[in-house]
Amino acid sequence: MVGGGYTGTTAAKELDGLCDVTLITPNDQLEHKWAYMRASVVPGWEKVTRVPLDKLLKRGKIIQGSVTAVSDGSVTLASGEVLTADSIILAHGYGTANLPGGTPTTTTDSASFMAYLKEKQKAVGAAETILIAGGGPVGVELAGEIIAQYPNKSVKLVHSRSTLLSNSQPPMSEKMITKLTSAMQEMGVEVILNAKVTNLPSPAGGDGFVHGKQSYSLSNGTTIDADLAVVCIGGEKQESNIVASVDKDNRVKVLKTLQVEGMPTVFCVGDANNVNETKLGYYGQMQAAVAVKNIQKLAQDKQLAEYKPSGGETEFGTMFIPLGPKRGVGGAGKNVMGDFLVSKIKGKGLFKNKVFGGVNAVPPAVP
């Protein structure tokens, strides 16, 4: 198993009782990225962003390290060591995203990352006017977390498209996006669509926070003076991959069975593969379940199962967007959910108990 995120740990735990499992991950703990937005704002929540993995496997083992190459039946580590296996699952992720959506490259361990988040919490608390560039899930959730914690702050979200969540695949329903936009405006977030920030600095080291009062120019001819800006626009694409079978964007090519093309005993799940769906941890875990099932079927010489992207939904996607712990909007196909259900499903705890419990760890108490 290559990768110790949501998808990799899910697969490793399922396989632990069935075969000898070795999990290879570059991190000392699981990165609970679903909590990053709140942890960038609310003191105490930084403790939720790192999940210990020492009790994940009862039979298997964990190696902290990086993988440089994978072939049918073997994995090569950065140290030069080669590990052999009957089956391999790749869940090594794709590219990098800027904080608050991803982990800065300057933080090398869990302790330094949590200290980093405490500095961001102070910066958010001290700022009177905050500009958020990007109206995808990260930017929208961050805006909601800031307003929920600091109702009197001025938060302005700028998005280059005509609607929020514009890159979802399949798209979110128009009804869900309309409800989300209205909810944000009701909370006090100024949503500015069809505009780009033209003089936004490039994030350094994966840190999307731009500190210090500055005047930002928008493509619609207006300007925004902000004490703090946060870049929530994409990240860096994968420069290379650990297998040869990749598409033009360096995503791993997989069959419907999630086997890597040309490598029948190697599966790839989650962000790293080229399955055409929004890259969410939720979908990654669904892929992990199919890969685990297919490893068993492969050993039994049975026909492998096929993965249905986005749970088989082709018209509209599934997404839950908390706007702080008590408010939020969700969509599941044509169904749209409001504050109560989104708070209960995700917003209140950000899946804290599920993620910690999923790796046999004890979740910390938070405000």
User: What is the model's pLDDT at position 185?
Assistant: 98
Instruction: State the amino acid at position 218 in one-letter form.
Output: L
| pLDDT at residue 3, rounded to an integer | 97
**Mean pLDDT for the stretch of residues 26-47:** 96
Q: Express each pLDDT in 325-353 by its tens digit.
A: 999 999 999 999 999 999 999 999 999 99
Segment 224-264, tens digit of pLDDT? 999 999 999 977 888 889 999 999 999 999 999 999 999 99
Q: What is the pLDDT of residues 282-325, one digit of tens each?
A: 999 999 999 999 999 999 999 999 999 988 888 999 999 999 99
User: Does 105 score more than 90 pLDDT?
Assistant: no
Domains of the chain, CATH where assigned: 6-26+65-95+237-312 (3.50.50.60), 110-236+314-358 (3.50.50.100)
CA nearest neighbour of 68 among 81, 59, 56: 81
The reported pLDDT for the residue numbered 108 is 80
pLDDT tens for 119-166 read 999 999 999 999 999 999 999 999 999 999 999 999 999 999 999 999
Query: Is 249 exposed, middle or buried (CB count within 10 Å of its CB: 0-12, 13-18, 19+)?
Result: exposed
Q: How far is CA 233 from the centre of its chain?
A: 13
Q: Could you give the CA distance from residue 125 to residue 146 in angstroms, rounded to a whole number?
A: 9
Give the whole-angstrom CA distance, residue 103 versus residue 210. 16
pTM exceeding 0.75? yes
Check residue 178 and give its pLDDT: 98
- Give the pLDDT of residue 339: 98
